[in-house]
Amino acid sequence: MPIEITMPALSPTMTEGNLAKWVKKEGDKVSAGDVIAEIETDKATMEVEAVDEGVLGKIVVAAGTEGVKVNAVIALLLAEGEDKKAIANWKPKEEPKAAKSSESGVQSPDKKKDADAPATAAAAPVAQATKAPDVPVKAATGGQVQSGSRAKASPLAKRLAEKNSIHLGRVPGTGPHGRIVKSDIEEALLRGGAGGGAVRRHPVEMVKVPNSSMRKTVAKRLTESKQQIPHFYLTVECEIDTLLNVRAQLNAQAEARAGKGNPPAYKVSVNDMVIKAVACALRDKPEANASWYDDAIIQYNNVDVSVAVAIDGGLITPIVRNADQKSLPQISSEMKSLAGRARKGELKPEEYQGGGFSISNLGMYGIQQFGAIVNPPQACILAIGSGEEKVVRRNGEFTVVNVMKVTLSVDHRAVDGALGAEYLQLFKQYIEQPVLMFV
């Protein structure tokens, strides 16, 4: 039986095309890879390459025919040893079926596997999540720039490129196997010809990163928090020049005690001092160290501060317990241990479960100000921004000071606006007068 040459699907969404031209004619010898025809779609003119070897025995669809369905037979190829009699015995199938494509324009690499895979349960009961598409998914077209000597292009594209002095090596091909087609040359002309910047698409459109148990838990808790907790936000600006000087003195003293060449016993960070200031302010204003429940507001007698730490796959909030009673060197050493073990996944449950107040610090990333989401059942979380210089006027003179913006996110059910403002004023006092932390 002769080999059927069918209308190819030149893109995932293609259902039909126009047979623009036959490059080979009946009786011509055809080798694998030879261009036998040119197909027009709504987006480009592309070439059809032969997959098998033989002689073009019959052209079923004439050149210029429009609306040829994908997978319809367009020609017959006689294999070695066959003659015209084989064509006489050939009968066309009843109705060629168009290539199936997904609504999104990308096909799953394993549809049976996709159908058998169980659906993942939604992470949060308050919102139904949609299932992610099956990926990685390869791009329908290469879109890759080829070297000039090896650039593959259709005859029409080559003529158009030569006419407009466009270097084919600088044009990304979007045809089959990265071949350059007419529309690619036209796009290059719109970009200014050969000097236009080449657009390089990654051959894999997307990748699927499975949600870890931690990421699902974080998503569930934060979704519940944002939907069920009435947030309000208070922002205050703190001058930190004195705090920076005290920090420098503490660290210099630690280095001096350790001696030359020896590591210091501690190195206090700005974040360590923020933890201490938060704890001291909570000690002075215990009403802010609270959680809301339907039948009562719970106020905590101990000052346990949760500190957000970014780890692979999410974040975790290890707790500095009784932070108001600990020295800055103690807080510094404890936080380094907690953060290090958190990133290794070695924290014990009691080291990250509980706490009455949270801190989220993005200042080290250059973030000036942001609003964090309350970490239930806690009522407050303090978002710390970066320090920056600011010009202020004092006693008729201008001077430059370092300031840090902090934003308190509050559960209005447990902490009112006035109480939140009073707490922030106490925090600001400890930051701007750090000597009070040592009293």
Helix 241-258, helix 270-284: angle, nearest 10: 120
> Is the predicted pLDDT of residue 148 greater than 50, yes or no?
no
CA distance 80 to 51: 15
pLDDT per residue as tens digits for the range 9-48: 876 667 888 888 899 988 888 888 888 898 876 556 678 8
Note whether 282 and 378 are same-domain residues: yes
Please tell me which residue, 98 or 84, carries the higher pLDDT value: 84
Q: Using pLDDT thresholds of 50, 70 and 90, give the confidence band for residue 384.
A: very high
Helix 417-432, helix 241-258: angle, nearest 10: 50
Give me the amino acid identity at 239.
Answer: E
The pLDDT score that the predictor gives to residue 431 is: 97
Listed in sequence order, the residues at least 6 apart from 341 whose beta carbon sits closer than 8 Å to its beta carbon are 318, 347, 351
Domains in the chain: how many in total?
Answer: 3
Note whether 174 and 268 are same-domain residues: no
The pLDDT score that the predictor gives to residue 153 is: 82
Adjacent-strand bridge partners of 206: 137
The pLDDT score that the predictor gives to residue 101 is: 39
Note whether 298 and 162 are same-domain residues: no
Question: Per the domain annotation, does 128 fall within a domain?
Answer: no
- What is the CATH number for 312? 3.30.559.10
Indicate the residue among 148, 179, 206 that finishes a domain. 206
Q: Using pLDDT thresholds of 50, 70 and 90, give the confidence band for residue 197.
A: low
Mean pLDDT for the stretch of residues 289-318: 93
Q: In the numeric block, which tokens belong to residue 260?
A: 């030359």
> Is the predicted pLDDT of residue 106 greater than 70, yes or no?
no
Give me the amino acid identity at 376.
Answer: P
Indicate the residue among 161, 190, 206 that finishes a domain. 206
The pLDDT score that the predictor gives to residue 150 is: 57
Question: Per the domain annotation, does 120 fall within a domain?
Answer: no
Mean pLDDT for the stretch of residues 369-395: 94
Closest CA to 318 of 290, 347, 289, 291: 347
CA-to-CA dists, residue 104 to 133, 140, 189, angstroms: 9, 12, 30
Q: What is the pTM of this model?
A: 0.60
Mean pLDDT for the stretch of residues 182-196: 73
> Is the predicted pLDDT of residue 249 greater than 80, yes or no?
yes
Mean pLDDT for the stretch of residues 153-174: 82
CA-to-CA dists, residue 251 to 50, 56, 269, 327, 412, angstroms: 75, 85, 9, 14, 39
- Please give the residue range of the domain that contains residue 170: 137-206
pLDDT per residue as tens digits for the range 253-271: 999 998 888 999 999 999 9
Active site (catalytic) residues: 412
